[in-house]
Each structure stands twice: as C-alpha cells, then as structure tokens.
Amino acid sequence: MSARVLPADLPASIAEAAAVLRGGGLVAFPTETVYGLGADAMNPRAVLRVFEVKARPSFDPLIVHIDRASALPRVASGIDARVEALAARFWPGPLTLVLPRVPDLPDIVTAGLDTVGVRVPAHAAARALLEAAATPVAAPSANPFGYVSPTTARHVADLLGGKVDVVLDGGPCRVGVESTILSLAQDPPVILRPGGVPREELEKALGHPLVVAGPAERPLAPGQLQKHYATRTPLRLLDGPAGEAPARGGRVGLLLLSPRAEARGYAAVEVLAPDGSLATAAANLFAALRHLDALGLDLILAEPCGESGLGHAIMDRLRRAAARA
C-alpha cells in the first residue's frame, strides 16, 4: 500500500490530513525547512509509529510543532521574556527552542528528557494543518534514520511512501536545511544544531555571542551524531576549490556551490547555486545529494563553502555526511 499524496493547497487535503492525525495516523507534511513525519504529540502510540517507520532509536527526541507561539505553554515551561522575544522575532520560522517540558507531554516524544524541542513552522500548509488538527504535532524529518532529509513530497514517497497514511505535497522546501536548534534549558544558551536561522541573527537578537555545542556537550541524540544526513555513496569534503577529477577512484560525482570551469572529468556535477547565494545552495543541497546518490557512483566530492550565515548549516550537513559511521 502506498500513501495518498494530497495537494497541500486544498482545504479538503488539510481537513483530511488533520483527521488522520487526530485518529492516531501519520502525515508527512511540508515545512519551510524539510518535510516532517507528523504524529499527534499527545498520543504515545501514534508517536511510537513515527519511531518505527523511521527506524529511529528511541533515545532520540522529536521536535514538537505548534501553530503559534501562544500554544507554547501546552508543551513547555520556563517561558520568560527572552523566549518571548525570540518567538516574536523568529516564529514562524526555522528556529527550534529547547525548553523545560510540561509533565503532560508523553515521555516518548522527548525520549525521557526533561526538556522539549519546539517550533512554529512557517510553511502555510504546515500551519493550516497544525491549526486544523488542534494538537501539537511531533515530527522528525520524513526520512529513514541517518539518511538525507526530504525537501519534496516525492523524496518522502520514494523512501517512506508505503509506511505513512498521507503525504501532503506543498512543493519544494524554501529553506532546505533543518531548523537551528537553540537550547535555552542551559545557561548560557547553546546552539545544538546549526540550521535555517544563522547564528549571527540569534546573537544579534540575544545581544551576546553563542557557542555551538561540540559533540561532548550534546545530549545523546543521533541527529547530533557525527554521521548523519548521509548518502549511501561515500562522500568526501574537498580542502579547497574543485579541480579535475581524481585519475583513479572510479566514477566520481562533484557537488559545487557555483559553476567552475576547471572541474572536468567527473561522472556527474551538481551545482547548488548558479547565483552563488548560500540561500539557494541550502535550498538545493539535499535534492542534489539524493540525485548524486541515485547514480551508483563510487565517490562524491563536495566543495566547501564559507561558514558564515547559512554556510554554517551547509558545512555542518556536509561534514556529517562525510563522517565515518
């Protein structure tokens, strides 16, 4: 059986998907970052299915999605002026805040942690779905555990289609990398995952510099593991600009930020941003990785980009794709 793929811009699709969520089913839905695999966060059996479908280890907590900041007290506590300021500035949008959780939230959502990751997504279909379902929705990225996140409904249907009830097709994701995760449950706050909101913007809003957690400070959570967001084809980061393909090494694919005439001899080349912008590169990153991964290459080489703004999230994903398991 395969999932029904419904156009996300039709009110009837939203109503149907919301009913599936209310009934304990699974709905894959578009957000501005990547597609999520959603279940009613207040229904532990539904959330358990998310873990099963993704083959996700039970110690990896899920992000809870709410339709507006005023719904935050349903899932989190510790809502102070700083939280309100960040919510006002960045929600709806690609920022997940880690806060103390409320006792009502099922343990399975937070993997037993006393904190919860929560965000208000910006995609119109996601917000309509959350509003219609009238419940917080726990949703990881809609990919098998460890693989590249989906940025189109097609990506979801390709790898998880048979295992979810409904896929809402809202087109390609605008941001293309996952949300930035900022933990306010520790002092000073720490970025647990670079993402769609650049660190510089958070620092400006908070008025102080932020640390990005190294592996040691991170909670034991696979999304923060070294090896993640990975293609099946081995991937290596180049030290600098790409030149000719290595003479030995079989069929090699190349991932470039912008077009490069010197790059010759590759079996396939993907250019992330013909316009050279990091926002375009982020939006195209996961689709390009999937495309190269489908070609049966021996190796993918990726050109590094600068680590300011969205470049930080792009390099984070490429490093983890390149890490050894």
**274 within 8 A of 281, measured Cβ to Cβ:** no
Contact 112, 219 (CB under 8 A): no
Structure tokens at 229: 């967001």
Position 60 contacts ligand TXA (CB under 6 A): yes
Least distance (Å) between residue 179 CB and ligand TXA: 3
Which is closer to ligand TXA, CB of 16 or CB of 178?
A: 178
Of the candidate spans 54-62, 232-240, 273-281, 303-311, the one that interacts with ligand TXA by CB under 6 A turns out to be 54-62
What minimum distance in Å lies between the beta carbon of 303 and ligand TXA?
Answer: 24
Residue 95 DSSP class: E
What are the residues facing 211 on neighbouring strands? 190
Evaluate whether 285 touches 268 at the Cβ level (below 8 Å): no
> Interacting stretch for ligand TXA, rule CB under 6 A, among 68-76, 108-116, 202-210, 315-323?
108-116
- Residue 217, both tokens: 């400070």
Q: Which residue is nearest to Mg ion (CB)?
A: 141
Subset of 206-225 contacting ligand TXA (CB under 6 A): 219, 221, 223-224
CB 166 within 8 A of CB 27: yes
Residue number, 14 or 140, with CB nearest to Mg ion:
140
SS3 content of the chain, % helix, strand, coil (to 5): 35, 20, 50
Binding string to ligand TXA for residues 141 to 180, with x set by CB under 6 A, is what? x------------------------------------xx-
Buried b / exposed e over 138-155, threshold 16 CB at 10 Å, is bbbbbbebbbbbbbbbbb
Query: In degrees rounded to 5, what are phi and psi of residue 128?
Result: -65, -40
Residue 191 as a binder of ligand TXA (CB under 6 A): the answer is no
Residue 281 CB, nearest approach to Mg ion (Å): 19
In the list 6, 8, 20, 36, the residue contacting ligand TXA (rule: CB under 6 A) is 36
- Report the nearest approach of ligand TXA to the CB of residue 113 (Å): 5
* Other C-beta atoms lying within 10 Å of the C-beta of residue 206: 17
Told to check if 141 binds Mg ion by CB under 5 A, we report yes
CA–CA separation, 77 and 65 (whole Å):
15
Contact residues for ligand TXA (CB under 6 A)?
31, 33-34, 36, 60-63, 94, 96, 98, 110, 113, 115-117, 121, 139-141, 178-179, 181, 192, 219, 221, 223-224
